[in-house]
């Protein structure tokens, strides 16, 4: 099944079901990158969207900065500031407990992120393969690869997402989502999905190279082309 279309346009298909915000994101996608991906799909049969090394480094550095900051807070601040069992009660016990829990939760959260982006991501190298068959998210392991999430185009119900506007100077947040028939999905047990009746919703890796609107536009057009090709095959049959 050929899903490539040389005349792919930046505007989303009419029946894409995208919200107005997502339609604008698709329309603003980088045309050169989209055409390059579709050219590769036509030539190689698949496109591998890899994890961004720069984003991984930035996330890792940011997490380590917060870990150092929180650790310094434990060392520099008086123990009575965050330990409700300290003898000196300059502040109320509830405030001490709240400060202590905040510090511990922050240390666990950012410490986990720092370890994840520093050691796990470079080894596992999560990536998404978009092919004529469908979409497959995989990772590396000793001796081979493992599947995080995989679904054929025939089982993809919709390519969409969530768009969250923010205030300046922060950019809006876009999360690309795949809605697929539950019985057509293969996934690792720990791969997070949200069940909606007979379908599941899967969030696409936010660490992939390229802007998220480009990934969204690529998947929207690829899904539409795959659906059109399947309908043409049915008509000929």
Q: φ and ψ at 188, to 5 degrees?
A: -70, 155
Domains and CATH numbers, the chain: 20-51+125-236 (2.30.29), 55-123 (no CATH)
Tell me the whole-structure pTM to 2 decimals: 0.81
List pLDDT tens digits, range 26-79. Answer: 999 999 999 999 999 999 999 999 998 888 999 999 999 999 999 998 888 877
pLDDT digits (tens, 9 = 90+) for 141-170: 888 899 999 999 999 999 999 999 888 778
Q: Which residue in this structure is represented by tokens 């089982």?
A: 155
Please choose, from the candidates 212, 179, 175, the residue with its C-alpha nearest in 3D space to the C-alpha of residue 194.
179
Three-state secondary structure call for residue 135: strand
């Amino acid at each position: 099944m050929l899903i490539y279309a040389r005349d792919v346009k930046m505007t989303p298909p009419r029946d894409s079901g995208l919200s107005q915000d997502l339609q604008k994101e698709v329309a603003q996608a980088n045309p050169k990158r989209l055409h390059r991906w579709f050219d590769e799909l036509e030539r190689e049969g698949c496109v591998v969207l890899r994890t961004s090394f720069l984003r991984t480094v930035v996330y890792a550095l940011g997490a380590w900065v917060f870990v150092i900051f929180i650790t310094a807070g434990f060392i520099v601040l008086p123990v009575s500031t965050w330990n409700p069992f300290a003898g000196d009660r300059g502040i109320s016990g509830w405030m001490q407990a709240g400060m202590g829990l905040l510090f511990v939760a922050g240390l666990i959260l950012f410490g986990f992120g720092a370890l994840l982006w520093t050691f796990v991501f470079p080894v596992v190298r999560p990536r998404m393969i978009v092919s004529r068959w469908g979409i497959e998210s995989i990772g590396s392991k000793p001796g081979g690869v493992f599947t995080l999430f995989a679904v054929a185009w025939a089982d993809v119900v919709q390519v969409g997402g969530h768009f969250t506007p923010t205030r300046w100077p922060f950019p809006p947040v876009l999360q690309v989502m795949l809605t697929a028939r539950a019985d057509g999905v293969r996934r690792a047990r720990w791969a997070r999905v949200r069940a909606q009746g007979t379908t599941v919703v899967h969030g696409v890796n936010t660490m992939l190279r390229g802007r998220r609107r480009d990934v969204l536009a690529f998947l929207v057009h690829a899904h539409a082309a795959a659906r059109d090709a399947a309908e043409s095959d049915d008509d000929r049959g």
